[in-house]
Structure formats: structure tokens, C-alpha cells
């Protein structure tokens, strides 16, 4: 049977070549990201994932923070390469930041000490599910995106600039926009190596 869900999962790829157009209205994007964030599961229904949608000038401000942070640590000779990479993300329509609200996780550790060593990684699992769901939704709307990790280098400056709670931990950054060049070939391991069936 045909499944739109599986089709959307297959469509999602890492897309680095983006422009500043969107196939979705801002309101539609916000509404759907809110719906996804509300619906994606979390350990003990902790709901510690936080999402920041940066559009317009805020998207540019964000990538400028990344660029200026990297300028301080990347050797001058390789900086033009770094700059080109950051510009390719900034060329997109917007950026979605994924955070975890650490007090929610700490509360859970206090409430359920038996599981406390698992909660940090479970919070990351839930954040990954959220990232995947939003990434796949964007793909379904014919929008390209990639997943970046400039945390923790940029965390303080980002929180200061966008007035975000200090307790939020930045987990991932997702620049997105219309696709100007599709993803290349992707190789796959034999699926029998990864999925075993006993029946
Ligand atoms: C947890 C996770 C972390 C990743 N981190 C990065 C990253 O920091 N930078 C990047 O360019 N791609 C990153 N990627 C993208 C992967 O390289 C990419 O998903 C993988 O090569 C498969 O390609 P596809 O996304 O086109 O299917 C990440 C993907 C995952 C799932």
C-alpha cells in the first residue's frame, strides 16, 4: 500500500544548496512546527525540547554569530573555506534552533532517581526525533535543510542575542530554504545487516 509517510521519509536528505525562497507561508511553517513539537514523544512526557524559528534578519544575525565565533578560532589560511560554508547556510530562508530545557531533565532525575543516569541521553533521543520530524516535514514541502552543530561554541552569544533562557542547552541548528541543487548519491549498507527478522 502506498504511504505518504514513507515517501516523505525517503524524500528527506541533507541539502546544502539553498536559496532564500520558501514554498510555505511563515504562518503555515510556524503552525506545523508547533504541531510537530507538541506531538513528538519525550521520556516520561517531559517535553523538554525547545525550538526557535529564526526568519528574516534574525536568520542572518544567527549566521553572523557563527561566523564571528569561528573567525576567532579557525586558522586564517582556512577561513575562506569556513566563510563559504557559513554563507551557504545563510543563503537559506531561515534557521531552526533546537534546545533542551535542562531544568525539566533535572526535575525528572530528582523524581525518578532509579532512571536518572538515562535522562540526559533520553532527552537527546527525543530532541533527535523532533529534529527528524521537522526535517521530514520540510522535505515534504519541497524545502531543503541540513543539520549543523556549532554548539557549544556559540551558545552564550546566541542566548544573549535572542534573549533565551540561560538553562536552555543548544543541541542542533537546521538551516533551510528552497533547493537549488539536490543531494548527491547516497550509499546504503545491505539492509539485511541492519534489520533482522525472526518469524
Ligand atoms: C545526529 C546527526 C548529526 C549530524 N550532524 C551533521 C553536522 O554537524 N553537519 C552536517 O553537515 N551534517 C550532519 N548530519 C547529516 C549527515 O551527515 C547525513 O544525514 C548523512 O550523511 C545521510 O545523508 P542524508 O541526510 O542526505 O540522508 C548529521 C546527521 C545526523 C542524523
User: pLDDT tens across 168-194, in order?
Assistant: 999 999 999 999 999 999 999 999 999
Taking alpha carbons only, the member of 111, 140, 160, 192 closest to residue 24 is 140
What does the alpha-carbon distance between residue 109 and residue 112 come to, in Å, rounded to a whole number? 5
* Within a domain: 191: no
Domain containing residue 145: CATH number:
3.40.109.10
* Within a domain: 115: yes
* Within a domain: 40: yes
Residue nearest to atom 17 of ligand 1 (CA): 14
DSSP for 3-62? -HHHHHHHH--B--EEES--SS-HHHHHHHHHHHHHHS--GGG---EEEEEEETHHHHHH
136 CB under 6 A from ligand 1? no
What does the alpha-carbon distance between residue 43 and residue 35 come to, in Å, rounded to a whole number? 18
Quote the domain boundaries for residue 178.
4-182
Average pLDDT, integer, range 2-17: 95
* Within a domain: 192: no
Residue nearest to atom 2 of ligand 1 (CA): 147
Please give the number of the atom of ligand 1 that sits closest to the Cα of 13.
26
* Within a domain: 22: yes
Give every CB contact of residue 158 below 8 A, 6+ residues apart in sequence: 62, 65, 97, 164, 170
* Within a domain: 166: yes
Average pLDDT, integer, range 131-151: 98
* Within a domain: 97: yes
Model pLDDT for residues 68-105, shown as the tens digit of each residue:
999 999 999 999 999 999 999 999 999 999 999 999 99
CA distances from 78 to 8, 46, 58, 150 (A): 37, 42, 27, 17
Interval between CA 99 and ligand 1 midpoint (Å): 18
Residue nearest to atom 12 of ligand 1 (CA): 147
User: Distance from first CA to last CA of the chain, Å, rounded?
Assistant: 22
Cα angle value 49/132/163 (rounded, 5°): 35
* Within a domain: 127: yes
Average pLDDT, integer, range 35-44: 97
pLDDT band at 2 (very low <50, low <70, confident <90, very high): confident
pLDDT band at 3 (very low <50, low <70, confident <90, very high): confident
Q: Identify the pLDDT of residue 1.
A: 74
| pTM listed for this prediction | 0.97
Give the chain's mean pLDDT: 97
9 CB under 6 A from ligand 1? no
Name the domain count of the chain: 1
Amino acid at each position: 500500500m502506498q504511504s505518504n509517510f514513507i515517501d516523505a521519509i525517503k524524500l528527506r536528505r541533507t541539502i546544502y544548496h539553498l536559496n532564500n525562497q520558501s514554498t510555505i507561508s511563515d504562518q503555515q511553517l510556524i503552525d506545523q512546527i508547533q504541531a510537530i513539537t507538541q506531538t513528538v514523544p519525550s521520556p516520561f512526557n517531559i517535553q523538554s525540547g525547545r525550538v526557535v524559528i529564526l526568519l528574516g534578519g534574525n536568520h542572518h544575525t544567527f549566521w553572523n554569530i557563527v561566523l564571528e565565533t569561528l573567525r576567532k578560532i579557525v586558522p586564517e589560511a582556512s577561513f575562506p573555506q569556513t566563510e563559504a560554508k557559513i554563507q551557504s547556510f545563510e543563503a537559506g530562508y531561515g534557521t531552526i534552533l533546537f534546545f533542551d530545557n535542562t531544568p525539566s531533565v533535572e526535575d525528572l532525575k530528582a523524581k525518578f532517581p532509579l532512571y536518572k543516569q538515562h535522562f540526559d541521553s533520553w532527552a537527546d533521543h527525543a530532541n533527535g526525533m523532533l529534529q527528524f520530524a521537522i526535517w521530514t516535514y520540510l522535505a515534504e514541502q519541497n524545502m531543503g535543510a541540513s543539520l549543523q552543530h556549532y554548539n557549544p561554541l556559540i551558545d552564550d552569544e546566541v542566548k544573549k542575542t535572542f534573549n533565551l533562557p540561560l538553562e536552555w542547552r543548544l543541541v542542533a541548528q537546521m538551516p533551510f530554504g528552497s533547493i537549488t541543487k539536490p543531494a548527491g548519491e547516497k550509499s546504503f549498507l545491505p539492509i539485511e545487516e541492519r534489520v533482522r527478522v525472526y518469524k
